[in-house]
Amino acid sequence: MSHQHPGHRAKKGPIRVAAAGGVLALLLAACSGGETAADPAPEAPEVEEEDAGDDGDPDAVDEGEEAAGDAADDADEPDEPEVPAVDPASVNADELGQVPVLMYHQLREDGGSLYDMSPEEFRADLIELFDGGYRPVTTAALVTREFDVPAGTTPVVLTFDDSVRNQAFLDDDGELHPDSSMGILIDVAADYDDVEPVASLYLITSSLFGGTADGPDIVRALHEAGMELGNHTTTHPNLGRLSSAEVQDELSTAISMIGDIVPEAEVSTLSLPLGVFPEDRALATSGSGTDGDYAHDAVLLVGSNPAPSPWHVDFDPQALPRILTLRDPGELQGSAWWLEQFEVAQTHQRYISDGNPATISFPADKADQLDPAFEERANPY
């Protein structure tokens, strides 16, 4: 299936992606290796009647009565149904398709381990995504369903765990350095007129971007640039090995520390260290620790598959799967492999926007996959 993607530069060629090979057993090493990860979650308008005046003449209504009547008519009329700005069929809209939530880690000049990329590889990864019609949104925007991408494009969430130095550092002017992951994202996005350079960074608050003195300044710069600041705990422990009180302290203290740096920041999503839930899974969602209450709209897994659409009946923001970013064409279920499933093999259907955030467009034969809570916004075709 081919899609037309507005607002991007000329493509450099099709996305070439992975074939086969296994990474599921390796996923735990993404954050720190060896621990057991959580399983990925899988009406028509009313007809107005003429109003007659006291003498029976429809034209004899005085001005005050006419104005009042008009206002009443306007209030009684139902809203016109929302319609997409484009014909959904013309862009193959499917807003019940899957959304890739990508998990990045470090940039290393030599490419590093399987889970890292060189700066050149990361730049190429972004170009391939944007040329392929993927448009970044934050985790918070996805799970609250408050995102808007152009017709014919697909939301993609770019997540970065561990708050390591090469993800974000500052130049001499206090801006995000162009050689950092965030600097590269901002630079690449500038070549597209409809790409917003946003990402979700999950912070270990005891070690902010190398633990140097400018860590808080980097956090502030990220917030000012529109990046989401997420919770990755205070010290990055295995939550499954902590007591309930310790879990709640880890999560509440991290949010409190980010709030001390950026009071206006809303920390509403959590990336589980090592992909491991606490023994009481509910504590990943909400609780109360030494530094106050906390509540997460989403809990991110390590996982190895795309997330269901936020309108899909299977969508579960409290167990949101992610895809490890692997450019090696031999790595099964890495990001390149999944892009091939969407574009070449077509064994899975990616989310394709209809361009109107007020409607949910999809092929009519998928109607049973829509969460019933959103039936009023459904636009099957």
Answer whether residue 63 is part of any domain: no
Amino acid identity for residue 129 in this structure? L
> Would you say residue 86 lies in a domain?
no
Q: SS in 3 state form for the chain?
A: CCCCCCCCCCCCCCCCCCCCCCCHHHHHHHCCCCCCCCCCCCCCCCCCCCCCCCCCCHHHCCHHHHHHHHHHHHHHCCCCCCCCCCCHHHHCCECCCEECEEEECCECCCCCCCCCECHHHHHHHHHHHHHCCEEEECHHHHHCCCCCCCCCCEEEEEEEECCCHHHCCECCCCCECCCCHHHHHHHHHCCCCCCCCCCEEEECCCCCCCCCCCHHHHHHHHHHCCCEEEECCCCCCCHHHCCHHHHHHHHHHHHHHHHHHCCCCCCCEEECHHHCCCCCCHHHHEEEECCEEEECCEEECCCCCCECCCCECCCCHHHECCEECCCCCCCCCCHHHHHHHHHHHCCCCECECCCCCCCEEECHHHHHHECHHHHHHEEEC
Q: Which residues pair with 322 in a beta bridge?
A: none
Q: Is residue 187 part of a domain?
A: yes
Question: What is the C-alpha to C-alpha distance for residues 31 and 272, in angstroms, rounded to an integer?
Answer: 9
Given this model, what pLDDT does residue 78 score? 54
Q: How many residues does the chain have?
A: 381
Which among 35, 16, 92, 27 has a CA at the least distance from the CA of 302?
27
CA R_g for the chain: 24
Joined together, the tokens standing for residue 208 give: 């902010």
The answer to whether the beta carbons of residues 121 and 67 sit under 8 Å apart is no
In a domain, 369, yes or no: no
As to burial, measured by CB atoms within 10 angstroms (0-12 exposed, 13-18 middle, 19+ buried), residue 58 is exposed
Q: Give the pLDDT score at 79.
A: 59
Q: Give the structural domain span for 260.
A: 24-42+98-351
Specify the CATH number for the domain of residue 345.
3.20.20.370
Residue 308 placed within a domain: yes
Is 56 a member of any domain? no
pTM over 0.75: yes
Is residue 220 domain-resident?
yes
Amino acid 356: pLDDT = 96
The domain tally of the chain equals 1
pLDDT given for residue 344 in this prediction: 83
d(CA 168, CA 104): 13
Class of residue 43 by CB neighbours under 10 A (exposed 0-12, middle 13-18, buried 19+): exposed
Neighbours of 241 (CB within 10 A): 12
The pLDDT tens digits for 35-59 are 444 444 333 333 333 343 444 443 4
Q: Is residue 191 a part of any domain in this protein?
A: yes
pLDDT under 70: residue ranges of the chain: 1-83, 345
Closest to 151 measured CA to CA, from 198, 81, 83, 85: 85
The residue among 357, 379, 359 whose CA lies nearest residue 149 is: 357
- Adjacent-strand bridge partners of 99: 307
